[in-house]
Amino acid sequence: MTLTTVSENRAFGGVQGVYRHASAATGTDMTFSVYVPPHAAGASLPVLWYLSGLTCTHANVTEKGEFRRACAEAGVIFIAPDTSPRGEGVADDPAYDFGQGAGFYVDATEAPWAPHFAMRSYIEDELPALIAAHFPADMARQGITGHSMGGHGALTIALRNPDRYACVSAFAPIAAPGQVPWGEKALSGYLGDDRHLWRAHDAVALIEDGARLPELLVDVGDADPFLEQLRPDLLEAACATAGIALTLRRQPGYDHSYYFISTFMAEHVGWHAERLAR
């Protein structure tokens, strides 16, 4: 559980840190960022996880997400992991939507990905234990959100662990990866051709198979060039059938970028903070 501090900077009265550790799940060093807001000595604070999208590292949201003021005001710890294992000896692919930077939050079973691509285990098990050991985190009060591939990760992880997260949201999630090219490529590459096995990593399929959450908040831009990969309409239909209270906001004129995410980030932080305070 040894943690190396890469950097720490004062921000809105709290500390924005970047940290590195040797991961047993991935067999590599992993880097992540944590913002700890100002708090009284001995306080234990709720946690909001943010999972990033294709090609991203922890740095994208840390530098562009504009979450710190809202987290400082609400007293919420904000955690941003990397999107895949990296480094020498880690399998990769020349395409942007597969391999390093595109772990899809699954535990790969296929060669050459299986030795290192265990992002499900890393996010669900290993990193939470590390956070609990090193930060003033109340692990009984957790929320999760994410963007694009990370929105897929947030939805699927929460649907598989409904008792762990008090609240779930997403920015432009890949809602039905088993039905779109990005997801079909990743799930077949990492998990093989048995589509039944994919269903545990597909939010729409999980809901169809009985997984439930009380409510969801999802923002998507109506000018997003990747809407055919995201399929918010399928998530909307699945939630309606299942009786899940989905607030799906189609934001006019917004695209897939961090200009979009940063515009609505404070609203998501506030939405989570309200539920984490209950």
Q: Does residue 148 carry a catalytic annotation?
A: yes
Residue 57, number of CB atoms within 10 A of its CB: 19
Cα(259)–Cα(144) distance, rounded to whole angstroms? 20
Give the strand order in the sheet containing 165-171: 4-11, 14-22, 29-36, 77-80, 45-51, 137-146, 165-171, 215-221, 245-251
Residues 241/10, Cβ–Cβ less than 8 Å: no
Residue 129, number of CB atoms within 10 A of its CB: 11
Catalytic residue among 82, 97, 202, 224: 224
Residue 117, both tokens: 């691509």
Catalytic residue among 201, 256, 268, 272: 256
Q: Is 76 exposed, middle or buried (0-12, 13-18, 19+ CB in 10 A)?
A: buried
Q: Does residue 219 carry a catalytic annotation?
A: no
Residue 124, number of CB atoms within 10 A of its CB: 17
Q: Does residue 256 carry a catalytic annotation?
A: yes
Catalytic residue among 148, 201, 202, 219: 148
Tell me the catalytic residues. Answer: 148, 224, 256
